[in-house]
Amino acid sequence: MTHKQKLTRRELLRSSAVAAGTLVLTGAPGPLAYAQGSDTIRVGVVGCGGRGSGAAHNCVESSAGVQIVALADTFADRIEKLKGDFKVPEDRCFVGLDAYKKVMALDDVNLVILATPPGFRPVQLAEAIRQGKHVFMEKPVAVCPAGIKMVIEASELAEQKGLGIVAGTQRRHQNEYVETMKRVLDGAIGEIVSAQCYWNMGGLWCHKRQANESDIEWQIRNWLYFTWLSGDHICEQHVHNIDVVNWAFGDVLPETAHGIGGRQFRTGEEYGHIFDHFGVEFTYPNDVRTISTCRQIEGTAGNVSERVVGTKGWTDCYSRIEGENRWRYRGPRSDAYVQEHTDLIKSIRDGKPLNEGKRIANSTLCAIMGRESAYSRQQFKTSWFTSRCTLDLLPAADLKLSDSRPVPAVAVPGQYELPGWTQQGRRNRG
């Protein structure tokens, strides 16, 4: 990591001081811990599973002066690895569904990594911002419109408080994408008339239910397969690709979504109730219609990519532009999983914290719309979804690990209730 070796303690102090100065001038209310005399970014990790562990290491690797100082997870066994990796004292490791609150209550923590299942993200983000912490959060950031609303509100509050929010859609920090998309947004392929994005793959891990596990414990340990926790795989994974297409459109949201999907192969009860494939048409302004597919079926053809087509050419969004303004990315290739942390921490130290909250909320919203459209087989407008859909999958404030919660029915068109839809008075035909 180039930063780590090059940045001296003095430079760090200087950049922190500048940051603090800026904040004072802009009247940002939340005091930054490191501006209070420490040059260290002190990180609390909320959610110590695979991605949380990865993000913690990426964060430390990204910049000098970063320490992991507190950990939280629903389960004690999940904390052990990071606790050992970063020598986090026992009294700074918190366990349970409310463990995140304890990390965020620590005064010396100035950045939190949110990497629990996405269903918990809106509540945890809101708490982090309330407590004045900068945030790195994994994608997606919600699983329902109610959660999206919370994330947008928290992001607006973060803006007011001068807090940074970066989301784990690492393509936005990856040189190849950044350089390509800069050109696309500058018109290199002309006006966009078509686009495609895919996350087609095999299967993922699965946690089979153990005899001693309650409904809630099993569902959280096996969170991928429950919509209230993961948002289904269109939300959990494919949001990356949808986010890239949104990026190409200048982060303008699609106007409608119409999806189909189902659970054709992965039908065992260990896989909860989510689908194994989706196909969604997102229609952007000017009736520009796009293809989006995602699939998790073992042994099928893989394809994780994006493609955007304009009146003057097309791009793979990644390093290649074809057509009138043919171009290839020839620059350095960085590790985007690290770069996203580098960018966040630099922005904090520069006093101009990045805030990607609304943007990732919007891309997450698209994925949720695609899912709900496929569950219900209804086409609807984004404006309807954001204003009238009453779907709320947020965890109850008093949720307990010992709670019972039956697995929801697999969505079947004609039976699945899209909350708020009937009020529209345009129930489907057939």
Site of interaction with another protein (CB under 8 A): 190, 193-194, 196, 198, 200, 258, 260-265, 276-279, 281, 287, 289, 291, 293, 295, 297-301, 303, 307, 309, 311-312, 314, 376-379, 411-415, 428-430
Distance CA 261, CA 297 (A): 13
Nearer to another protein, 368 or 418 (CB): 418
Query: Residue 252's closest CA among 243, 265, 261?
Result: 243
Residues paired with residue 288 on neighbouring β-strands, in sequence order: 284
Residue 425 Cβ vs another protein, minimum distance, rounded to whole Å: 15
Give the strand pairing for 320-323 and 313-315: antiparallel
Task: Give 262's Cβ-side CA count (13 Å radius).
Answer: 4
Nearer to another protein, 190 or 420 (CB): 190
Distance CA 214, CA 378 (A): 34
Query: Residue 174's closest CA among 16, 332, 46, 35?
Result: 332
Q: Would you give the DSSP letter of residue 254? A: P
Nearer to another protein, 94 or 421 (CB): 421
Residue 325 Cβ vs another protein, minimum distance, rounded to whole Å: 14
Query: Residue 385's closest CA among 277, 292, 255?
Result: 255
Residue 260 Cβ vs another protein, minimum distance, rounded to whole Å: 4
Nearer to another protein, 71 or 317 (CB): 317
Residue 179 Cβ vs another protein, minimum distance, rounded to whole Å: 23
Nearer to another protein, 86 or 265 (CB): 265
User: Both tokens of residue 357?
Assistant: 């909250």
Q: Would you give the DSSP letter of residue 30? A: S
Nearer to another protein, 22 or 305 (CB): 305
Burial class (CB in 10 A: 0-12, 13-18, 19+), 46: buried
Residue 118 Cβ vs another protein, minimum distance, rounded to whole Å: 23
Q: Quick check: helix, strand or coil at residue 9?
A: helix
Which residue carries 């984004």 as its tokens? Answer: 382
Nearer to another protein, 220 or 308 (CB): 308
Q: Which residues contact 227 (CB under 8 A, 6 or more apart)?
A: 143, 273, 274, 371, 393, 408
Residue 273 Cβ vs another protein, minimum distance, rounded to whole Å: 12
Residue 245 Cβ vs another protein, minimum distance, rounded to whole Å: 13
Residue 422 Cβ vs another protein, minimum distance, rounded to whole Å: 13
> Which backbone phi and psi does 221 adopt, to 5 degrees?
-70, -25
Residue 209 Cβ vs another protein, minimum distance, rounded to whole Å: 24
Residue pair 325/313 in contact (Cβ under 8 Å)? The answer is yes
Residues paired with residue 307 on neighbouring β-strands, in sequence order: 196
Residue pair 212/221 in contact (Cβ under 8 Å)? The answer is no
Nearer to another protein, 31 or 413 (CB): 413
Question: H-helix or E-strand containing 73?
Answer: strand 66-73
Residue pair 228/393 in contact (Cβ under 8 Å)? The answer is yes
Residue 315 Cβ vs another protein, minimum distance, rounded to whole Å: 12
Distance CA 198, CA 237 (A): 10
Nearer to another protein, 78 or 258 (CB): 258
Nearer to another protein, 63 or 373 (CB): 373
Residue 193 Cβ vs another protein, minimum distance, rounded to whole Å: 5
Helix axes 357-376, 145-161, angle to 10 degrees: 180
User: Both tokens of residue 257?
Assistant: 């979504």
Nearer to another protein, 236 or 276 (CB): 276
Distances (CA, A) of 146 to 143, 189, 305, 367: 8, 37, 29, 14
